[in-house]
Structure 1
């Protein structure tokens, strides 16, 4: 069995500064995935070659996927005006303190809309973002899910998902 370790190392100094994609004054990093035999100490291996990487261990194969890397701070729940609150860490959407009973795709769709209020999302963008590029379907799929979301949001908040004719949808927080 092997252990996979993502490794970050400073960007190669041979890249001219004007071609480097990182803004002026910032330090760029290049990521590498290094596979090591089980029981190998990666810090010792890299030290032999004069490399001081920033190591980040991946969760074990049987560990449940949480959606965030183990070393990253957990995202704070997004709570815009209008009563809809998205907690991506717990995968929960709340409306005025009440948890909504949403399917996985309904949650992802609502999170996409609420996460970018006032922004118009085309049906094609939503299909690629929520369903993934491999999804076979059309914009009607989005329309059906939007209708379900509106029903679940209820009378007071259903108008917060606005149809932009011949384009797509946007989220407009309900003013209290």
Structure 2
């Protein structure tokens, strides 16, 4: 729907024309755009109430949130059952006791190293981006170049030892994937 608004009667200076646009640009159906929606930026004078303006012209403002356009970041494993024990043939992660055992020997991990390994073991074969790990494990948005994740993965690999370090596989230019020993 395209509607041209007349200039306010009290103002005699030439006013810019304002057009309210419905679901899409002229000649393009709403379904043709990705997600079926098109957004527009409309500039109004400071003294104009946009809701009243739309109501005066029969346009109902839409307040529904937009759908996300990026895939959701992985959530930290802490959101699941805290007592979950994930294990493959040699690596055992006990979230209740915050304990990791490799071939029966306990690993001495930092808080973030434990969370990172527990997340990897709980989601085998899933490719995790550095940005997704930063937001999911560290709990904040991407800052810097992702070296934080690389450093923690290197420390984990060192602590896992030569027999198991390859379980955390690098996916070049993307991130990491955990590959259990049962393959």
How far residue 75 of structure 1 moved from its aligned partner, in angstroms, is 2.2
* Counterpart position of 2:117: 110
Name the SS for the 1:102 alignment partner: coil
1:74/1:139 Cα in 2 relative to 1: closer, same or farther (>3 Å)?
Answer: closer
Following the alignment from structure 1 to structure 2, what is the Cα–Cα distance between the partners of residues 137 and 82?
Answer: 36
- For residues 119-145 of structure 1, the C-alpha deviation after alignment (integer angstroms, 9 at most, x for no partner) is 000000000111112674441100000
Following the alignment from structure 1 to structure 2, what is the Cα–Cα distance between the partners of residues 74 and 167?
Answer: 29
Q: Which of 124, 149, 161 pairs up with 1:142?
A: 149
Q: Which of 150, 161, 179 pairs up with 1:172?
A: 179
1:74/1:174 Cα in 2 relative to 1: closer, same or farther (>3 Å)?
Answer: closer
Q: Which structure 1 segments of 5+ residues have no match?
A: 1-66
* Counterpart position of 1:75: 83
Worse-superposed segment, 106-115 or 127-136: 127-136
Which runs of structure 1 show a deviation greater than 6 angstroms over 4 or more consecutive aligned residues?
Answer: none
Name the SS for the 1:117 alignment partner: coil
Q: Which has the larger radius of gyration?
A: 2
TM-score w.r.t. length of structure 1: 0.55
